[in-house]
Amino acid sequence: MQPKRVRVVLADVAGTRPPGEHTRAELAEQTGIGEALVRGLVRAQLSLALRCAAVVAVGLGALPLLFAVAPAVAGARPFGMVLPWLLLGVAAYPFLFVVGWAYVHLAERTERDFTDLVERH
């Protein structure tokens, strides 16, 4: 059975938290565990995000400086490709993907630990 067609109104969102939002974090909030616990989760996720960002900022952000101060590095040719082309044209993408994968993996583990903790109490 398909739902009935309804008129689409964009402005009545205020205050109406849609029902049936079963995200893990909200589940945790609803159980009434102390605010501090939730704040701890938020802080853990933020620090994880900041650490991943730092890895990229150093890993990629240092390259222009490296090429500028060490022209010999910029002119190196591993595998027959000039190093900056190899790093920026090819290696940067898998690098970003791996950092992203690690973040997803760790963030989900943090959430899982949190819900386990909540459920045990």
Q: Contacts with other proteins in 26-55 (CB under 8 A)?
A: 26, 45, 49-50, 52-53
Query: Residue 111's Cα: distance from chain center in Å?
Result: 13
CB atoms within 10 A of CB 27: 15
What span, in angstroms and rounded, lies between the C-alpha atoms of 118 and 28?
7
Q: What minimum distance in Å lies between the beta carbon of 87 and other proteins?
A: 9
Question: For residue 66, what are the contacts with CB-CB under 8 A and spacing of at least 6?
Answer: 73, 74
Q: Contacts with other proteins in 54-113 (CB under 8 A)?
A: 56, 60-61, 64-65, 67-68, 71, 74-75, 82, 84-85, 88-90, 92-94, 96-97, 99-101, 103-104, 107-108, 111
Half-sphere exposure of 99 (CA within 13 A, CB side): 18
Under the rule (CB under 8 A), what is the footprint of other proteins?
2-6, 8-10, 13-14, 17-18, 21-26, 45, 49-50, 52-53, 56, 60-61, 64-65, 67-68, 71, 74-75, 82, 84-85, 88-90, 92-94, 96-97, 99-101, 103-104, 107-108, 111
